[in-house]
Structure formats: C-alpha cells, structure tokens
Chains A and B, each alone.
Chain A
Amino acid sequence: MNLNVRAEEEISYDAIVVGTGISGGWAAKELCEKGLKTLVLERGRMVKHGDYPTANLDPWQLPDDDKMSAEELKDYQKQKRTNYTMKPQFKHWWVKDTEHPYTEIKRFDWIRGYHVGGRSLTWGRHSYRWSEMDFEANAKDGIAIDWPIRYKDLAPWYSYVEKYAGIQGMKEGLSQCPDGEFLPNFDLNCVEQHSREKIKDAFGNRVLTIGRTAHATVNHNGRKCQARNLCMRGCPYGGYFSSNATTLISAENTGNMTLRPYSIVTEVIYNNETQKADGVRVLDAETGEYMEFKSKIIFLCASALGSTFILMNSKSDRFPNGLGNDSGELGHNLMDHHFETGASGTIDGWEDKYYSGRKPCGFYIPRFRNLGKEKRDYIRGYGYQGGASREDWSRVVSELAIGEELKNMIKVPGPWQMGMTAFGETLPYHENKVMLNEDLRDMHGLPTLTFDCEFKENEFKMREDMKNDAAEMLEAAGFKDIDTFDTIGGFGLSIHEMGTARMGRDPKTSVLNGNNQVHAVPNVFVTDGACMTSAACQNPSLTYMAITARAADFAVNELKRRNL
C-alpha cells in the first residue's frame, strides 16, 4: 500500500467487525443494513464469490489421485489430521501449520483457514436449532454457569437467519431439535427411507430425518444447489450458505461496508476514561505496518479462538489479564463435540433401485437420550449424521475380483450399505483451556496459543451408548455384517470448538452478558463460538448466526438510545 492510499484511508467508522466467517458475515450484513458505516477486517486474503479455483474440475483434472505429496504435507501436519482437508481440491482453504503454529499440552486439532469467508466456505452446512433443554442444561445439572438467555430469546432470530440463509429440512415436531423455517427437503434415498420407518417401529422416540443443511433446494435469492456435492471447494452456484455468496454481498450492496483483507486485529484499544473501547489495532499482513481504526462499537467474530486471542492480547492497566477478563474465565471452558464413533452395515434388497445427482448431505438422528425421565450413566446426549449408498467401483479393491471379472464388476453398483457417526456434547470444564504464549511466535511475530484440553469421564461414558445405539438401530432396520467403530481423535477434530469467552449473568463468572457485550466494556460484542456457555450436541453455526443477528439488533438500538 502506498502512502497516498493510506492517507486517504478512512480511520473512523460507526462499527468495526473482526472476521468474515459465519458470524462476521452476519454482523457485517446486519450492521450495514441498519445504516452503520462498517469496517470489516479480515486477517486473510480476499475471496470474492466465485473465486473458487477447483470448483469446476472434473475428477480426472485433479492431480495425483487428489493426493498431496508427503513433502508438501510437512507444512500441514495438524490440518491433515482430519483425513479430508488436505487434498489438492481443498488445500488452499487451510492454514500452513508451519506459518501458524500452536502448542499442545494435550493433543488439540485446530483446523482452520484464513481468508474472506473463513470456514463458512468449508463448513459441513448442518444447521440445527438448539432447544429449551439445551439452554437450561447447565442450570438443571448444576454444571458450570447458567446461560443468560433461553430458547425463546433466540427463536425469532433462528427464524430470521433461516429464512435468509435457506435451510432445507423436514418438520418432525421434536422439542429437543425444534423445526425451523425449511426449504423443501432433499430426498432420503430408498434405504434411508426404509431405515427411518424401521427405526421408528423399533424405537418410538428415535427419528431418522434428512440432515438439515444450508442448501438452496429451490431457487433462493438467485442461488440454487445443483446436487454436485463439491461444496467444500466453494460453490459458483451459491448452492449453500457462505459469507461470500450471501451476507457479504448483502453488506456490500448497502454501500456501507468497507472490507479490508490482510488486516490482522492484534488488540482492542481500551480507553480508561470512557471505559469503552476506542477501536482496534491492526497489523497489515502484507506490509507489516501497524495501524489503528476507531469505531463506536466492535463486533469480534474472528472465530472462537481468534476472538479470545484478541481479548487475551488486549492488555492494559485496567485489564492486565486480557480485555474483559475480570472473571478470570477468559480462555477457559473450551468445548468441542466428540465424534467418530458409530456403526455401519450392509443390507440385501433394492438391487433394482439407485439414485441420481449427488446429495450434499446425509440423514440426521436427533438426540433421544436423557430426555424426560431417562437417566443414563452420563448427562447430556448426542445426535447422528449418516447416509446410505450403494457400494461403488472401489469395492473391487477389497475383493479378489481381477481382470475381466473386475471390469464387469465395476460397471454395476454393489449392495446397499449404511453408516452413522454420533456427535456428542462435551461438558464445559474450567480446566479445559487455551493460554496466550508470548514465547512461540507465528509468521507475523504475533504470540500464539497453547492448548490444554481433554475429554473426560462423561464424554467417554457417553461413547458406549453412541456406538451401541448405532449398531442397535442398524440391526433393527435389517442390516447385517454390522461393524462398530470408536476412534475419538483429538479435541477440536469435529471443528466445533467453542467457549473461552462465555456468556453469563454474573460478571464474576463470565466474560459476556446476555446481549453478548463484554461485561465491563459494553461496546465490544463477541458473537462467534467464543461466547458459548455449553456445547449441546447440535452443530453450532446456525446458533452463531442467530446470536449475531440478535446482538447486532441490540447494539444498533443501544446506539440509537445513546447508551453506547
């Protein structure tokens, strides 16, 4: 950037939004649409909707069987732990661990990318509402602290964000996984439909429904899913919700947004006299220059650990342990979903049936454990994601088929199979934490994070049921050769990391209040995963959207009332 541009650059805004992922995109859209001149700061590179380099590649255009070389993978030793992120078709969406290191006291899989859109480009798109039970859980169990909000506070906002984002699903009337504002649902295939019926017959309260995902199954504001199932590459059709395809475009259309990539927010600047934040300090990732921007309100939406990092790095006389950290809870109560346990099996029949198009989601079985009076030997619960399909050409590899026999075999699909993996709630434990590490620096010379988290007894007890219930349901549906699996992986592997700047009623035990304001610094809002007080078992992104839209509405009203 040359001096002319810097001198012309506006420094003062009504609002600053940090991050452009699921939450940041929504904050940008809401604040801009409500008339605020908003500076949106993204630490990574620009990605305009459509800038998806691998989106239209046919399978034969992917180099090397879509494998990265062992040499190249040396830069991605943590990112590759998922087993699916580090492939040529996706690799540009993930950070190099060598450039952005972190320290693990116990194994932690911190999977992320730094670019406009963040993980809203690469997310799994599953979008479930939390229920009253989820918000009440801590209070009822005497665990951690109570949420300062309830389902009824969020319900209208779930509707609001669902209508914009476009969520396809089937209404089931389940209180533990409330119905949303749904677009027409993707089909369950023949075997999934059969299993739904059989599971309902065998277990009245277990419902196999379509995965509720942010796909436009019909034309939705000019976007429509084409059933290619290549979502993680980025979708030129806008088939699923990403900031790039939706919220950032809406924000831009207002004329109120200034989007600045390569802008790493290193700290929030606190003003001791006004007892509010003045703005943010930014490190330009391209030039190495530091600069400051001012605003009336700040929305930290840099992802759970990104936002907490900023708060921890914002030290002052008033806040020696990080901005807003009067409680000492900043960095603590880190949660994730534990998963990778369940079952699979094969089933005879339906040889005369198949499917066409590539469904970009599977089915979902909402939580059915510890509802009502049931008390297992653990608290909370889990839901399943899964899918049925016909074995394809790859089955010949595990058979002795060879030569002409193999050639004939690949031309015909194999038997139907089905599998499911449970995602389990992880409790908030104070000792599961992340800390600022000034000794290890990243490629920009910034401090890094040190993780100290582990799954504990409640999680491991839950996994027995997660595994066995899956096998039980497959058996009830008539599957055979049922295999169970249980490979827990690292904390963070489900990429649903949340907590570390939790919401609560009491400033002594929480960082944020019921409106996502930092208790002691009311013009700073945190609405991404950092704010979560418990983890539930439902995928969290839809909840981040609703929380962000609600907080933005509150913030703008506070500005109008001159409270901020």
Chain B
Amino acid sequence: MDIKNIDRREALKRTAVLLGGAISAPTMMGILNGCTPSEKLDWTPVYFSEDQAALVSSMTDTIIPGGDTKGANDLGMPQFIEEIVTRIYSDQQKMEFMDGMEVFADRCKNETGSDYKDLERAEREIFFNKVYIDVKDIEDELEDEREGKNIEDYQDTKRIYFVKAVKELTVSGYCLSEYGATQVLKYVKVPGEYKGCIPYEEVGGTWATS
C-alpha cells in the first residue's frame, strides 16, 4: 500500500481549498452532525501515555469519523494500533513510530499553536494531509531507490512513517472488522461460484476481500 500516483498539483489544490478557509462539504457534514472527538479518553492505554493515546485517538477519529455509520473509534482502532505497535513491531519499528509521533505532535504545536486533539475537525484534516504529502515525497524517493533491489532488502529497510502507519492501520482495521466488512463494505463468506462480469448494481458496494 505505497503512496503512489497522487497528482501532486491536484493534491495541493485540494489542500489549498481547505487551507483557504473553505471547508469541504463532507467535512462540513461531519461537523454539523456533531462528530467531535471525545474530550475524555474512553480506553486505558497500556504502552502509550495518556497524551499519546489521546493524540492517536484524535487521529483515528479524524481519518474515519463516526456519524450515520460507526467510526474508527467506535470500533477500537486506537487500541488496535497500540496492540500492533506494542506486540507486532520490532524495536526499531516501534522507535520509528514513537519518534514520528513526537515529531508530529511538535510540528502541530509549532504550526497551529495547539495540540492536535484540540484542533477543530477541519483543521485536523488539513494538518494531517499536510504531513501526509511530505511522507509521500519521501516514499517517492525511496521507490526510485528500490528499483532493481531485492524485495527482501526493501522490506527490512522499510521505515515506519508515523502518519502513514496510523492511516494504514486505521483503514485496514476498520475495513476488515466485522462491522466494516459487513455493514459498510460487502462480504460474502462462501460465494459458491465466481462471476467475472456483472452489473455493479448487483453488488452495490466494495468487496471487503478478494
């Protein structure tokens, strides 16, 4: 799931609209529906500090807010991320993640004057994508370096980029959760047969798995 093929001009255009004060319609919908991150943390972190847990929670809520369908925090995505960082990541990966979190938090404070979790939803979206574009630039460079190398070497040297990891895990954890796969996406446990070319309406959504 590498970032690729984002037309940078298009990406900047979109971000400029948001930065310019005009909030995108979907985001406005979210705000009008009262989807703000909870002030209090509703889970007990084991590895993260309270502040770190609050930061991650506000990020996952930004990525997939609640509303007419459940959001990332309704499905325990912050806890899921903490599990992955704690039990799955190597020491090196854990360090990169936590360092990246600190950089993210500091940058937010410097550029907005606030902690990330205290920003308005629209501001949280804008800042997240600002950092995301920068990660994309780094990954593009690495992609070029990767050409001709062994996959194994690339996997071992692949760095954990905090924002990318948070977004990837939030989206993947959400989409492959029981709720996500069956209520938001489409999932059939035992299809019985394969049909190669059917009208989209017969499915009416995105398959959760292939």
Show the binding face of A for B, using Cβ within 8 Å: 58-60, 62, 64-65, 67-71, 81, 83, 107, 186-190, 192-193, 226-229, 340, 351-359, 389-390, 392-394, 396-400, 402-408, 410-413, 481, 483, 485-490
B88 within 8 A of A: yes
Chain A residue at smallest Cβ distance from B191? A357
A460 to B189, CA, bound (A): 43
B106-137 at interface with A (beta carbon < 8 Å): 121, 125, 128-129, 132-133
Chain B residue at smallest Cβ distance from A64? B88
- The answer on a CB contact under 8 Å between B4 and A398 is yes
Chain B residue at smallest Cβ distance from A358? B210
- The answer on a CB contact under 8 Å between B64 and A69 is no
- Can you report 11 A-B residue pairs in the complex whose CB atoms are below 8 A from each other? A59-B181, A59-B209, A62-B176, A65-B84, A353-B199, A355-B194, A356-B194, A389-B210, A406-B171, A407-B64, A410-B184
- The answer on a CB contact under 8 Å between A400 and B133 is yes
B173 within 8 A of A: yes
Show the binding face of B for A, using Cβ within 8 Å: 1-6, 11, 14-15, 24, 26-27, 29-30, 62-65, 67, 69, 80, 83-84, 87-91, 93, 121, 125, 128-129, 132-133, 146-152, 154-155, 164, 167-169, 171-173, 175-178, 181, 184-185, 187-203, 205-210
- The answer on a CB contact under 8 Å between B171 and A394 is yes
- The answer on a CB contact under 8 Å between A64 and B84 is yes
Q: Could you say which of B65, B178, B198, B210 contacts A392, with CB atoms under 8 Å apart?
A: B210
- The answer on a CB contact under 8 Å between B169 and A65 is yes
- The answer on a CB contact under 8 Å between A354 and B6 is no
- The answer on a CB contact under 8 Å between A397 and B6 is no
- The answer on a CB contact under 8 Å between B191 and A354 is no
A69 to B173, CA, bound (A): 17
The residues of B that contact A356 with a CB separation of less than 8 Å are 188, 191, 194-195, 198, 202-203
Given A70-B88, A358-B191, A397-B171, A411:B184 Cβ within 8 A:
yes
Distance (Å) between the CB of A202 and the closest chain B CB? 22
- The answer on a CB contact under 8 Å between A69 and B88 is yes
Given A393-B185, A402-B63, A402-B125, A358:B205 Cβ within 8 A:
no
Distance (Å) between the CB of A322 and the closest chain B CB? 31
A221 to B183, CA, bound (A): 37
A70 to B190, CA, bound (A): 32
Q: Could you say which of B3, B30, B190, B207 contacts A398, with CB atoms under 8 Å apart?
A: B3
- The answer on a CB contact under 8 Å between A355 and B181 is no
The residues of A that contact B1 with a CB separation of less than 8 Å are 394, 397-398
* 11 extra interface residue pairs, beta carbon distance < 8 Å, beyond A397-B172, A400-B15, A403-B121: A58-B181, A59-B209, A193-B197, A351-B200, A358-B209, A403-B26, A410-B184, A486-B148, A487-B146, A487-B149, A487-B151
Given A389-B210, A487-B151, A488-B150, A187:B197 Cβ within 8 A:
yes
Q: Could you say which of B26, B148, B210 contacts A229, with CB atoms under 8 Å apart?
A: B210
Chain B residue at smallest Cβ distance from A193? B197
A483 to B2, CA, bound (A): 13
The residues of B that contact A399 with a CB separation of less than 8 Å are 6
The residues of A that contact B175 with a CB separation of less than 8 Å are 393-394, 410
Which of B133, B188, B206 neighbours the largest number of chain A CB atoms within 10 Å of its CB?
Answer: B206
A62 to B2, CA, bound (A): 23
Q: Could you say which of A68, A69, A359, A400 contacts B14, with CB atoms under 8 Å apart?
A: A400
Distance (Å) between the CB of B141 and the closest chain A CB? 16
Which of B5, B167, B193 neighbours the largest number of chain A CB atoms within 10 Å of its CB?
Answer: B193
Distance (Å) between the CB of A370 and the closest chain B CB? 25
- The answer on a CB contact under 8 Å between A407 and B69 is yes
Distance (Å) between the CB of A180 and the closest chain B CB? 20
The residues of A that contact B155 with a CB separation of less than 8 Å are 83
Chain B residue at smallest Cβ distance from A486? B148
A192 to B196, CA, bound (A): 9
A411 to B6, CA, bound (A): 20
Chain A residue at smallest Cβ distance from B203? A354
The residues of B that contact A389 with a CB separation of less than 8 Å are 210
A486 to B149, CA, bound (A): 8
- The answer on a CB contact under 8 Å between B196 and A359 is yes
- The answer on a CB contact under 8 Å between B129 and A83 is no
A47 to B201, CA, bound (A): 42
Which of A228, A352, A408 neighbours the largest number of chain B CB atoms within 10 Å of its CB?
Answer: A228
Chain B residue at smallest Cβ distance from A60? B178
Chain A residue at smallest Cβ distance from B94? A70
- The answer on a CB contact under 8 Å between B189 and A58 is yes
- The answer on a CB contact under 8 Å between B208 and A393 is yes
The residues of B that contact A64 with a CB separation of less than 8 Å are 83-84, 87-88
- The answer on a CB contact under 8 Å between B152 and A81 is yes
A411 to B125, CA, bound (A): 20
Distance (Å) between the CB of A77 and the closest chain B CB? 9
The residues of A that contact B205 with a CB separation of less than 8 Å are 411-412
Distance (Å) between the CB of A181 and the closest chain B CB? 21
Given A64-B88, A81-B152, A400-B11, A59:B176 Cβ within 8 A:
yes
Distance (Å) between the CB of B91 and the closest chain A CB? 8
The residues of B that contact A359 with a CB separation of less than 8 Å are 194, 196
A488 to B201, CA, bound (A): 41
The residues of A that contact B152 with a CB separation of less than 8 Å are 81, 83, 489-490
Chain A residue at smallest Cβ distance from B11? A400
The residues of B that contact A68 with a CB separation of less than 8 Å are 88
